[in-house]
Structure 1
Amino acid sequence: MTAVLALTLSAPRFGWAVGSLSGRITSGRASLPVATPDRPGIPFQALRRWLTETKRTAGDLALVLVDEAPPGTAITHAGLFAIAAAWADHHGITIETAPAATVAHALTGNPDAHLPALVAALRSVGQSPTTREEARALAILLWSLTR
């Protein structure tokens, strides 16, 4: 079954959602270890391991969608995105960014919608995100499945 993986990349936590064409959706929030002076690349290595495990359990991933960098997180987001892009390329999986305003508009009708409006829209279609990161990943996933 072909699946789509949506990610909201930030450290030390990130949101994820996996959806299949059959309509099955799973989502959550994962944590990355914090970089230390003697192990500065540890969050990036952990993300790569997480992606590989998720691919193994999700099956045939056809697309990885990553949110745009939130303000103030550009450096970390760029590093995490680089890892996700290299991983996707290695596995022959398409990777795209998901424009925040486009995703918000698709779910709420308002391109400037804030998190409470996104959560309300997600709940109206039967999703129950428990964290900000999970809500953003679910929003990206639902947008991708309907475009």
Structure 2
Amino acid sequence: MTNPNQNPVQNVPPAFTGQRTLLALDLGTTTGWALHGADGLITSGTVSFRPSRFDGGGMRYLRFTNWLGELERLSGPIAAIWFEEVRRHAGTDAAHVYGGLMATLTAWAEMRGVPYEGVPVGTIKRHATGKGNANKDAMIAAARARGVSPADENEADAIAILLWAMETQGGAQ
């Protein structure tokens, strides 16, 4: 028998009580993001870190760092971050960009004591669509079936990561 005075979410880690800001990212030149705010609302979008022709090699990562700081400033302290863990890339440049963004993200999180975790691509796709090798259109359709209208596959992937994290308590279930 359940005690009516008992907190029903007592076994749920603090990041999942709904009063914390959770961030999910699909890292890339066009980064998809989804945020579960402390108010319980989910917002999402994409942001471009494409350098201009006059930028030095590190400007993409400085912009990403500044964007993370601004996101945290506007949404409140970020309790946890999940990102798509990519093991294969279409080309060398994509791999370099991903690695730089991941290094920037993990350093930013470490400096603030924010836990972070990479989630394998197949895990995200399987949770969203039931198929571990779902294509971009299937991921967008899965997001739309959940009542969200992503602008592209980057945003759809970030939404899928966030929903996976919330529904599995970051893989704990």
TM normalised by structure 2 equals 0.78
- For residue 20 of structure 1, report the CA deviation from its aligned partner: 3.6
Structure 1 residue aligned with 2:139: 118
Aligned partner of 1:67 among 84, 98, 110: 84
How many equivalent residue pairs? 146
- For residue 109 of structure 1, report the CA deviation from its aligned partner: 0.9
Question: Secondary structure in 2 aligned to 1:106?
Answer: helix
- For residue 135 of structure 1, report the CA deviation from its aligned partner: 1.0
Q: Is the 8 A contact 1:35 1:43 kept in 2?
A: no
Q: Is the 8 A contact 1:27 1:138 kept in 2?
A: yes
Structure 2 residue aligned with 1:89: 110
Q: Does 1:2 align with 2:20?
A: yes
Structure 2 residue aligned with 1:55: 72
Structure 1 residue aligned with 2:122: 101
Q: Which amino acid aligns with 1:31?
A: S
CA distance in 2, matches of 1:110, 1:116: 13
CA RMSD of aligned residues (A): 1.7
- For residue 38 of structure 1, report the CA deviation from its aligned partner: 6.3
Q: Does 1:127 align with 2:144?
A: no
- Say which structure, 1 or 2, has more relative contact order (CA 8 Å, 6+ apart): 1
- Structure 1: gaps spanning 5 or more residues: none
Q: Structure 1 vs Structure 2: percent identity of aligned residues?
A: 36
Greater Rg over alpha carbons, structure = 2
TM normalised by structure 1 equals 0.91
Which one has the bigger strand percentage?
1
Q: Is the 8 A contact 1:33 1:42 kept in 2?
A: no
Q: Which amino acid aligns with 2:56?
A: R
- Structure 2: gaps spanning 5 or more residues: 1-18, 169-173
CA distance in 1, matches of 2:116, 2:40: 21
Structure 1 22/106 Cα, relative in aligned 2: closer, same or farther at 3 Å?
Answer: farther
Q: Is the 8 A contact 2:85 2:118 kept in 1?
A: yes
- For residue 21 of structure 1, report the CA deviation from its aligned partner: 6.5
CA distance in 1, matches of 2:156, 2:55: 34
